[in-house]
A and B are shown apart, each in its own frame.
Chain A
Amino acid sequence: MNPGLTFATAGRVLRQVRTDHRTIALIIVVPCVLLGLLAWIYTGTPVFDRIGPALLGVFPMVVMFIVTSVATLRERQSGTLERLLTTPMGKGDFMIGYAVGFGLLAVVQAVVATGFAVWVCDLDVAGPLWLLVVVAVADAVLGTALGLLASGFARTEFQAVQFMPAFILPQFLLCGLLIPRELLPPLLEWISNLLPLSYAVDAMKEITRNTDPFSAVAGDLGIVLGFIVGALALASLTLSRRSA
């Protein structure tokens, strides 16, 4: 691991996104539109205050998962990944570079989405707003780490895109967004305990409910970070210097 190489990669990833204005717009605008839509659907009910925070945790992960898995697949197919691995660039520099680059993009996304949810959609948040952003960025990095892992198993773009429903939808259904996790059938609750998105959503809910959510959020964030490290470690096994 070499910080210079990691940041060179993060900068390169961001420069690539910079030339793609439509992707930037989608990353920033789509979460706001969906949040606004839900707030509108549930006008006059308390439902939005329950699912709004969960969605703030879901969006960064889903978006970064898709962006990363497609970007990494492109690196494999274009030969740039193979070429980079013949240089002093290590697998860690490559992966952490992606995580840092998309993590920075997630900061922008999280700030805009959180601001929109709170000031336009009137989401009630008891805890500090900045903590919502911190958790959102951790979710985004989780999405990037899972995307790096998933791209190792995709041979085509079609497969890479199909990994979204395969990797993400089950987590989405079981994370406590539809009904609180403790009300799930026992087996499903147990499965839900094994999935990283559950903890991201728990953290978001804590922040919106408690004025002093720090200790609960720290625990959830710790688990999310564990998943990030685990996913990156597994993903590094799929990046091999030699191929047949």
Chain B
Amino acid sequence: MMNNYDGPAVVISGLQVVRGHRDVIPGLHLEVPAGEVVGLLGPSGSGKSTLMRCIVGVQVVKAGTVTVLGHPAGSAALRREVGYVTQTPSVYDDLTVRENIAYFARAVGLRGTGLRDAVDRTLVEVDLVDFAGQLVRDLSGGQESRVSLAAALVGRPTLLVLDEPTVGLDPVLRRDLWELFARLAEQGHSLVVSSHVMDEATRCDRLVLLREGEVLADLTPDELLVRTGAVDADAAFLALIDAEAASHRSAS
């Protein structure tokens, strides 16, 4: 389901989020372009998941605005347009793989043959065709997280927000999923994908590096390597953090 809006996928301005008396996001500005795979990278606790929850509109926000596809985040107009996959799989473990995917497909309005085709296509995409009739509680952790991903893919939302979708997956499957993400972007979908595995950064069209709730860098993978002179994303990230720490020291 693609809408005709042609501005950026997400525009965030002055975003502030407090969780448990702590400023998780102290004041963030960010623009996510449409039709690209945007990687959200950063160490654990850097605010990746919170930022994604804000984009989906399930996070209580203290200040600032989050505009998604031209609408305020979480508004009714976006419920068919935004797909969200949480870090821990959120599917029903006492339903089969197919039943789970079909239920979330019905939730976004698919019916009849359209529903069946979408479920079949999604089973192929997440490589679970042979497990379609299995109860989710009998699957491995990696398989379960793919069911959770499938539940979001099935409705073909304009914007996909995926929180660490490749954790615990083997290299072949990870490659296949990143290729799927790239294909979806080519078709005009926008994706925001978080990861703390830096080598996945090269798979993205654009990178947003987060640290303590602030945007450390917002650039392409090539720009990251050129700017830092590092050989890989891991080293580049460390170089950025060191550079920032140094600038803090010289400023104070």
A16 close to chain B: CB less than 8 A: yes
Please tell me if the beta carbons of A243 and B58 are within 8 angstroms of each other in the complex: yes
5 example contacts (A-B, Cβ-Cβ < 8 A) are as follows A12-B95, A80-B91, A86-B82, A86-B84, A87-B107
Q: Kindly report which residue of chain B lies nearest to residue A17, judged by CB atoms.
A: B94
Please tell me if the beta carbons of A86 and B106 are within 8 angstroms of each other in the complex: no
Contact of B107 among A8, A15, A244 (CB under 8 A): A8
Contacts of B155 in A (CB 8 A): 87
A242 to B108, CA, bound (A): 19
Please tell me if the beta carbons of B108 and A88 are within 8 angstroms of each other in the complex: yes
A168 close to chain B: CB less than 8 A: no
List which B78-134 residues lie within 8 A (CB) of chain A.
79-80, 82, 84, 86, 88, 90-95, 99, 103-104, 106-109, 111
Please tell me if the beta carbons of B135 and A87 are within 8 angstroms of each other in the complex: no
List which A62-121 residues lie within 8 A (CB) of chain B.
78-80, 82-89
Contacts of A19 in B (CB 8 A): 94-95, 135
Q: A242-B58, A243-B58, A244-B60 are in contact. Are A88 and B109 (CB under 8 A)?
A: yes
B209 close to chain A: CB less than 8 A: no
Contacts of B76 in A (CB 8 A): 88
Chain A residues within 8 Å of B, Cβ to Cβ: 4-5, 8, 12, 15-16, 19-20, 78-80, 82-89, 241-244
Q: Kindly report which residue of chain A lies nearest to residue B62, judged by CB atoms.
A: A244
Given A12-B99, A79-B86, 6 other A-B residues pairs in contact with their CB atoms under 8 A? A8-B103, A19-B94, A82-B90, A87-B104, A87-B155, A89-B107
Q: A5-B106, A19-B135 are in contact. Are A242 and B59 (CB under 8 A)?
A: yes
Contact of A84 among B56, B57, B107, B111 (CB under 8 A): B107
A85 to B78, CA, bound (A): 11
List 10 tightest A-B contacts by C-beta distance, closest first: A79-B90, A8-B106, A87-B107, A88-B79, A244-B60, A16-B94, A89-B107, A83-B90, A12-B103, A19-B94
Contacts of A83 in B (CB 8 A): 84, 86, 90, 104, 151
Q: A15-B99, A86-B79, A242-B74 are in contact. Are A20 and B94 (CB under 8 A)?
A: yes
Contacts of A85 in B (CB 8 A): 58
A4, A12, A87: which has the most chain B beta carbons within 10 Å? Answer: A87
List which B60-74 residues lie within 8 A (CB) of chain A.
60, 74
Q: A82-B58, A87-B107 are in contact. Are A244 and B19 (CB under 8 A)?
A: yes
Contacts of B104 in A (CB 8 A): 83, 87
Give A88 Cβ to nearest chain B Cβ, in Å: 4
Q: A4-B106, A84-B107, A89-B107 are in contact. Are A12 and B92 (CB under 8 A)?
A: yes
Please tell me if the beta carbons of B57 and A242 are within 8 angstroms of each other in the complex: yes
Contacts of A244 in B (CB 8 A): 19, 59-60
Please tell me if the beta carbons of B103 and A241 are within 8 angstroms of each other in the complex: no
A87 to B107, CA, bound (A): 6
Please tell me if the beta carbons of A87 and B99 are within 8 angstroms of each other in the complex: no
Please tell me if the beta carbons of B92 and A86 are within 8 angstroms of each other in the complex: no
A169 to B25, CA, bound (A): 46
Contacts of A241 in B (CB 8 A): 57-58, 74
Please tell me if the beta carbons of A242 and B60 are within 8 angstroms of each other in the complex: yes
Q: Kindly report which residue of chain A lies nearest to residue B84, judged by CB atoms.
A: A86
Q: Kindly report which residue of chain A lies nearest to residue B61, judged by CB atoms.
A: A242
Contacts of A80 in B (CB 8 A): 90-92
Give A5 Cβ to nearest chain B Cβ, in Å: 7
B60, B82, B93, B106: which has the most chain A beta carbons within 10 Å? Answer: B106
A16 to B56, CA, bound (A): 27
Contacts of A79 in B (CB 8 A): 86, 88, 90
A4 to B58, CA, bound (A): 24
Q: Kindly report which residue of chain A lies nearest to residue B80, judged by CB atoms.
A: A88
Give A91 Cβ to nearest chain B Cβ, in Å: 12
Contacts of A89 in B (CB 8 A): 107
Q: Kindly report which residue of chain B lies nearest to residue A82, judged by CB atoms.
A: B58
Please tell me if the beta carbons of A243 and B59 are within 8 angstroms of each other in the complex: yes
Give A173 Cβ to nearest chain B Cβ, in Å: 34
Contact of A5 among B19, B84, B90, B107 (CB under 8 A): B107
Q: Kindly report which residue of chain B lies nearest to residue A20, judged by CB atoms.
A: B94
A89 to B151, CA, bound (A): 14
A89 to B76, CA, bound (A): 10
Q: Kindly report which residue of chain A lies nearest to residue B59, judged by CB atoms.
A: A242
A87 to B76, CA, bound (A): 9
List which B150-195 residues lie within 8 A (CB) of chain A.
151, 155
Give A165 Cβ to nearest chain B Cβ, in Å: 27
Contacts of A243 in B (CB 8 A): 58-60
